[in-house]
Amino acid sequence: MPRLFSPVRSVADRAADGKQADDLQRRLAGQLTGVAITFVDHSGAGRIKVVPLEALARAARTGVGFSPVIDAFTSDGGIDPASPLDRPDGDLRMVPDLEQLVVLRDPAGWAWAPGDRFTQDGAVYPNCQRSFARRQVAAAQRAGLSALMAFEIEWMVGRDADDFVPAFGGTGYGVSRFVAAADYTRDVVDSLTAAGVAVEQIHPEYGPAQFEVSVAAEDPVSAADTCVLAKLVISAVSARHGLRASFSPAVLTDNVGNGGHLHVSFWQDGGNLLAGGAGRHGLTSQGESILAALLASLPALLAIGAPTPASYLRLQPSRWAGAYQVWGLENREAALRLIAPPGTSTSNANVEIKCFDLSANPYLVTGAVMALALAGAGHPASLPAEVSGDPAAPGHPLADSAVRLPASLADTVEALERSEELRDALGAELLGSYTAARRAAITLAAGQHDEQVIADARWLI
Ligand code: GLU
Ligand code: MG
């Protein structure tokens, strides 16, 4: 069963965390140097403060300082002067979530925990992305709705250079690439497993030196945590091998990119809403209403799930990126790929949202999907006709009518601002600071060639 999340963490939780941290300090003494505490900012970059093990209990009780300006950082490491958060004053407290703390094998000598951010007087910080996800999960839980989620992690492995030089040959899905990279992928699997990530599969993907890891589904906040942790571990293993991992949506021009597909199943009263019903492919009426809401909201969701200018270089037809606003059973060109073929056990049926990529803040993604699912569950709606095949293929019956998802970040940010459900869920402050950050990314990319847009996004972790 998914872990239950409280919508906020209180001061009482922190006292308990402090005691737990005292125990952890004693138990781990001599085994590691310190704990890396992370959150993900509005540009999708993982941000970090590191405390020595001896300082963990204090960090758990009072948090570690972090300037609010961090969410005004742009993907190139600069600061957006137009952001409401570009101020030198003020401070926040980032508190490690000790429930999720894991000892790492890569990088060795460290542990990791995700952080939640609070104001100095102990209130939840309105721009805290992880707290946003917690709130949406808790709101759905109050209505009896829960979800299991998992991000698929795709990345390309380059040599240690700024440009992308594929580190391995061999073909997509090929034994040839498996053999060429077997030492590397063994370390990836071992280090992910050591960090508590439930790896279900790893394979050479279609792109140059590209790999994919699938992991077990979890509650939405944990799924976002796992995404952050997996990217950190894969980057560390790559560095140990003298290589670099690119999770960027676009790594090379005119080629497939890296997706960050989100697999989701929705649950009520112990049953999977995407299976066992009387609708198409076993959808329940509530499951169908939720999928209809997600499908209709994809343009707005993309501002969160595909949030960089490079995202739109990836989101092209015929690359299995899900560039069409359609759904279909097992259709890899559909933005919503229903995975419920005959014979699938009811607990395994899920929908894969394919149009997302890993430049997204995974907490905003899981929170936004949960918010839309909750809104959709309350409004009966039907899905349109399902689509099979690639609408871009010559002679496809929908060649002229299938709707492409927006082709630019500017369009999706506008769609986000128009979405009543997402506006309500995010709240004015978080929506305002987030859209300011997206507009800074648009400004930064204005007039740039695709090569430069890709170069700016290539090594973001
Ligand atoms: N690399 C593709 C993408 O950009 C996905 C390939 C697949 O279906 O796994 O999303
Ligand atoms: Mg893949």
Q: Is the pLDDT of residue 311 over 90?
A: yes
Q: Which ligand is nearest to the CA of 257?
A: 1
- Rounded to whole angstroms, how far apart are CA atoms 242 and 301? 36
Q: How far is the CA of 238 from the centre of ligand 2 (A)?
A: 19
Q: Report which protein residue has its CA nearest ligand 1's atom 7.
A: 320
Q: Is the pLDDT of residue 374 over 50?
A: yes
Q: How far is the CA of 154 from the centre of ligand 2 (A)?
A: 6
Residue whose C-alpha is closest to residue 152's, from 78, 203, 191: 203
Which atom of ligand 1 approaches the CA of 321 most closely? 10
Q: Report which protein residue has its CA nearest ligand 1's atom 8.
A: 320
Q: Is the pLDDT of residue 4 over 70?
A: no
Give how far Cα 376 sits from Cα of 65, 288, 458, Å.
38, 9, 35
Strand 102-103 to 92-96 pairing: unpaired
Which atom of ligand 1 approaches the CA of 257 most closely? 4
Which atom of ligand 1 approaches the CA of 212 most closely? 9
Q: How far is the CA of 311 from the centre of ligand 2 (A)?
A: 16
Where is 339: in which H helix or E strand?
strand 334-339
Which atom of ligand 1 approaches the CA of 322 most closely? 10
CATH for 138-457 is 3.30.590.10
Cβ pair 292, 381 in contact under 8 A: yes
Model confidence, pTM: 0.97
Q: Which ligand is nearest to the CA of 332?
A: 1
Q: Is the pLDDT of residue 5 over 60?
A: no
Total count of residues recorded for the chain:
461
pLDDT bucket at 402, cuts 50 / 70 / 90: confident
pLDDT bucket at 2, cuts 50 / 70 / 90: very low
Task: Give the burial class of 184: count Cβ atoms within 10 A of its Cβ; 0-12 exposed, 13-18 middle, 19 or more buried.
Answer: buried
Q: What is the pLDDT of residue 75?
A: 77
Q: What is the pLDDT of residue 309?
A: 97
Q: How far is the CA of 93 from the centre of ligand 2 (A)?
A: 37
Q: What is the pLDDT of residue 1?
A: 38
- The conformation of residue 43, written as its DSSP 8-state character, comes to T
Residue whose C-alpha is closest to residue 320's, from 257, 399, 251: 257
Residues 220-253 have pLDDT tens digits of 999 999 999 999 999 999 999 999 999 999 999 9
Residue whose C-alpha is closest to residue 255's, from 169, 171, 213, 316: 316
Which atom of ligand 1 approaches the CA of 154 most closely? 1
- Rounded to whole angstroms, how far apart are CA atoms 219 and 239? 30
Q: Which of 320, 359, 390 should be mutated for ligand 1, with most atoms under 8 A from CB?
A: 320
CATH for 13-125 is 3.10.20.70
Strand 210-215 to 199-204 pairing: antiparallel
Average pLDDT over residues 352-379: 98
Residues 188-204 have pLDDT tens digits of 999 999 999 999 999 99
Q: How far is the CA of 225 from the centre of ligand 2 (A)?
A: 20
Which atom of ligand 1 approaches the CA of 207 most closely? 1
Strand 145-151 to 262-268 pairing: antiparallel
Per mean pLDDT, which range of 26-30, 223-227, 368-372 is the poorest?
26-30
Indicate the Cα dihedral angle 126, 129, 133, 138, nearest 10°. -30
Q: Alpha helix locations (H) across 30-145?
A: 56-62, 129-142
Q: Which of 151, 155, 202, 258 should be mutated for ligand 1, with most atoms under 8 A from CB?
A: 258
- Rounded to whole angstroms, how far apart are CA atoms 5 and 143? 14
Residues 329-349 have pLDDT tens digits of 999 999 999 999 888 889 999
Average pLDDT over all residues of the chain: 94
Q: How far is the CA of 212 from the centre of ligand 2 (A)?
A: 6
Neighbours of 291 (CB within 10 A): 25
The ranges of the chain annotated as CATH 3.10.20.70 are 13-125
Average pLDDT over residues 139-152: 97
Higher pLDDT, 112 or 15: 112
Q: How far is the CA of 413 from the centre of ligand 2 (A)?
A: 26
The ranges of the chain annotated as CATH 3.30.590.10 are 138-457
Residue 210's contacts (CB-CB under 8 Å, 6 or more residues apart) are: 154, 155, 156, 157, 172, 204, 256, 258
- Rounded to whole angstroms, how far apart are CA atoms 251 and 208? 10
- Rounded to whole angstroms, how far apart are CA atoms 418 and 290? 19
Average pLDDT over residues 367-387: 97
Q: How far is the CA of 358 from the centre of ligand 2 (A)?
A: 12
Pocket of ligand 1 (CB under 6 A): 154, 256-257, 259, 314, 319-321, 332, 354
